[in-house]
Structure 1
Amino acid sequence: MKQLSFTSSILLKPLNIFVMKKIQLIFILFFCFHYGYSQNLVLKKQAFELHNVTGEIIKFKGKKVLKIERDLNAIPFDVNNLEATVDEPHYARLVDLNDFENGTIEVKMYSQIQNPPPYSGVAGFIGVFFRVNEDDTAFESIYLRPKVGRVGDQRLRNHTVQYFSYPNAKFATLRKSNPGKYEGSAPVSLNEWITMRIEVNGETAEMFINNLKYSTFIVDKMLGKIKKGAIGLYVDIGTIGYFRDLKVTKKPLKVIQENSEKVNDI
């Protein structure tokens, strides 16, 4: 009996190891399936979860930065169907902050164009998502097209800044329905650090560039229905984006007094 007991215990040990490894594998597969094979990158105690982008933490221009590029395997791009294949949820989500409603988002960002670019219209698309809901089906965004920020054509400069609301009011829709209202100019360029600060208050969002005293761009009435959510760092087709020094400050809603001077038209 002692020999049988001893033999059984020897046989059970590998069996237990096999069962444990199987449980671990099931857990890993469940975790990956549930979270979409997400990968977290940590920069200065801030963790970022990659959503349809590739990324890494690198040293760039003497600073540690988050580098991201759109993953075209995750969300394919179609130059003949821009409305459906750009301004999608390809971004790095700031982990553990899912209730941003009103306040300040500030980040330093640097935009390069991939060489060779995947299509001729690449403009270095880079910016911020905010009020992102849990499953990436709704959010607000303001981003830049730095390539045209200082060109000698005012019509193109007026496309430097873009607001959109996902999923029903992407850039192409807004350009057709409200030309000029959700776009603007900003004194930015490729291959340089840009400080973007967005002040979100209720239905409005104001963007400040490079610590200028007054805002460069304003959205007087945002179009999304999601009132609070996560923060994300965004790049689109053909862009290599570098980000650092992200600061998010939540604030209570500030009641703005109506300006007594009304401007109906110019």
Structure 2
Amino acid sequence: MNVTGSVVKINSEEVLKVERDLKTLPFDIKHLGATVNGPLYAKLKNTNFENGTIEVKVLSRIQKHTPYPDSWGFIGLAFRINGDNSAFESIYLRPKVGRSANEIVRNQAVQYYSYPDYKMDKINNTPGGPFETSADIGLNEWIKLRIEVKDQQATLYINDKKEPALTIKNMKGNLKSGAIGLWVDIGTEGYFKDLKVKKRS
């Protein structure tokens, strides 16, 4: 959905490469809020996920000829995607700033948003947060994500740490279930492997 995908090798291991397709969803740097945080994912076929755990390893690089010089390597997951891709929940990473010396920027390494009504340019000013946080992550390294979803709560764990990186106590979308997507945004080469989905009632 608005991305291209291919199987490539990293260190002799086959992984899935996903990049935003600018032909199907153009990017406008002058209207940033309107042209990012959209339906940008490789969507799993025949999945209907309500509650449970989604686990995947991701690796992010900045494209050599990125149309957005400030790209931070945006990569993550979308879930509870509805049938026409007009609504979903998402948690994604900005690995480039995970170890920034600037604390304000470093605290933006993880982001939750809900499409279409609570994108990045609105969600962080919405009561009930925080909806973003810091994480010890970087570009060009494998990062393990695990999102545990139960009803309206989503909890993100990174690299098997016992303490969650981010907990969203009340997700903003009203979808009860839907598909899962491997999500990327502008200027990012996104790589995915070892996807595991466990459904719970």
TM-score, structure 1 as length reference? 0.74
In structure 2, C-alpha distance between the alignment counterparts of 1:124 and 1:243, rounded to whole Å: 13
SS at match of 2:78: strand
> What are the within-5 Å matches in structure 2 for residues 50-65 of structure 1?
51-65=1-15
In structure 1, C-alpha distance between the alignment counterparts of 2:184 and 2:11, rounded to whole Å: 19
In structure 1, C-alpha distance between the alignment counterparts of 2:82 and 2:128, rounded to whole Å: 27
- CA-CA distance at 1:178 after TM superposition: 4.8
Determine the structure 2 residue equivalent to 1:194: 143
- CA-CA distance at 1:151 after TM superposition: 0.9
Determine the structure 2 residue equivalent to 1:228: 177
In structure 2, C-alpha distance between the alignment counterparts of 1:173 and 1:118, rounded to whole Å: 23
In structure 1, C-alpha distance between the alignment counterparts of 2:5 and 2:153, rounded to whole Å: 31
In structure 2, C-alpha distance between the alignment counterparts of 1:178 and 1:76, rounded to whole Å: 31
1:116 to 51, 65, 71: 65
Determine the structure 1 residue equivalent to 2:195: 246
The count of aligned residue pairs is 201
**Kindly tell me: are residues 179 and 95 of structure 1, through their superposed partners in 2, closer, same or farther at Cα, counting changes over 3 Å?**
same
- CA-CA distance at 1:62 after TM superposition: 2.2
Determine the structure 2 residue equivalent to 1:94: 44
Contact 1:143 1:162 in 2 (8 A): yes
Q: Which has the higher strand share?
A: 2
Specify the code of the residue in structure 2 equivalent to 1:245: D
Identity of aligned residues (%): 52
SS at match of 2:124: helix
Specify the code of the residue in structure 2 equivalent to 1:223: K
Determine the structure 2 residue equivalent to 1:144: 93
Contact 2:128 2:170 in 1 (8 A): no
SS at match of 1:80: helix
String of CA shifts for 1:198-257, please: whole Å, max 9, x gaps.
0001111010000111111111110001110000000000000000010000012xxxxx
2:22 to 66, 72, 79: 72
For structure 2, the residue ranges without an aligned partner over 5 or more in a row are: none
Contact 1:83 1:173 in 2 (8 A): no
In structure 1, C-alpha distance between the alignment counterparts of 2:138 and 2:30, rounded to whole Å: 27
**Kindly tell me: are residues 54 and 229 of structure 1, through their superposed partners in 2, closer, same or farther at Cα, counting changes over 3 Å?**
same
Instruction: Give 4+ residue runs of structure 1 displaced > 2 Å after superposition.
Output: 175-180
Query: What's the Cα RMSD here?
Result: 1.2
Determine the structure 2 residue equivalent to 1:30: none
In structure 2, C-alpha distance between the alignment counterparts of 1:225 and 1:177, rounded to whole Å: 16
SS at match of 2:24: coil
For structure 1, the residue ranges without an aligned partner over 5 or more in a row are: 1-50, 253-266
TM-score, structure 2 as length reference? 0.97
String of CA shifts for 1:41-61, please: whole Å, max 9, x gaps.
xxxxxxxxxx11111111212
**Kindly tell me: are residues 193 and 180 of structure 1, through their superposed partners in 2, closer, same or farther at Cα, counting changes over 3 Å?**
same
Determine the structure 2 residue equivalent to 1:40: none
String of CA shifts for 1:82-128, please: whole Å, max 9, x gaps.
1210011111011111x200000000010000013212220000000
> What are the within-5 Å matches in structure 2 for residues 1-266 of structure 1?
51-97=1-47, 99-178=48-127, 181-252=130-201
String of CA shifts for 1:152-173, please: whole Å, max 9, x gaps.
1110111110000000000111
Q: Which has the higher helix share?
A: 1
